[in-house]
Amino acid sequence: MATGEFLFLVNNDTEFTDGLIEGLTDIFRKYPDAGIASPKFHYFFHKGTIEYAGYHAVDILTGRNSMIGCKEPDNGQYDQITETNYAHGGGMMIPAKVLKVVGLMPEVFFLYYEEFDWCAQIRRKGYKVYYQPKSLIYHKESMTTGKNSPLKTYYITRNRILFMRRNVKWLHRAAFMCYLTVFTIPKNTLTFLVRREHAHLKAFWNGLFWNIKNLKKVN
């Protein structure tokens, strides 16, 4: 959705509430350093329960992160506008002027981690990411690919590694690769074997091999 001055990217498995757009545009009028903003997210099938009230940073060792407030009842505990690490990929607004500086979301990710990478790029240009609690959106979480689909396993594995390759310094990247080799690969391989989830096992290893085959491909 484009308004001329702003671009609002939203998933097709969401439901708007009154004042959603106005609240987000208000962020950019109040905070000149704002580069991108997301509303508060509630679960569509559990209204009143928070999905997103901002993001914790991606851990430099594990390559994982988590949503602030996820699965908590909404009692107003996250009702302050705050700077956060990443916008929510299901709904985020960016000014046209920032888009011209940063460029479009990187297509190399396709699914998962693309909004994290984009927000990292935005922050490197000197802008900030904001969470707007006055704007609320309902999200039918994981309806597109399924909560435990092999497709999800593949892209989360592939893109977690790709994100770390693109966005962390070499020393932190080395620590992440050690953790991946010593803990993540053996644990996930054993788990999928024990559960006889062979499609997930194949997807996991395909995600690993993509990065090996594309060591020079980071853009």
Helix or strand run (H / E) with residue 191: helix 185-194
Q: Is 143 a residue whose pLDDT tops 70?
A: no
The reply to whether the predicted model has a pTM over 0.85 is: yes
> What is the DSSP pairing of strand 14-16 with strand 82-84?
unpaired
pLDDT digits (tens, 9 = 90+) for 72-117: 999 999 999 999 999 999 999 999 999 999 999 999 998 899 999 9
Cα 168 from Cα 126, distance rounded (Å): 17
Phi/psi for 153 (5° steps) reads -60, -45
Residue 154 pLDDT: 97
pLDDT digits (tens, 9 = 90+) for 147-186: 689 999 999 999 999 999 999 999 999 999 999 999 999 9
When the pLDDT of each residue in the chain is averaged and rounded to a whole number, the result is 93
Residue 30 pLDDT: 96
- On whether the CB atoms of residues 162 and 173 are closer than 8 A, the answer is no
Q: Could you give the 3-state DSSP secondary structure of residue 136?
A: strand
Share of the chain above pLDDT 70, in %: 94
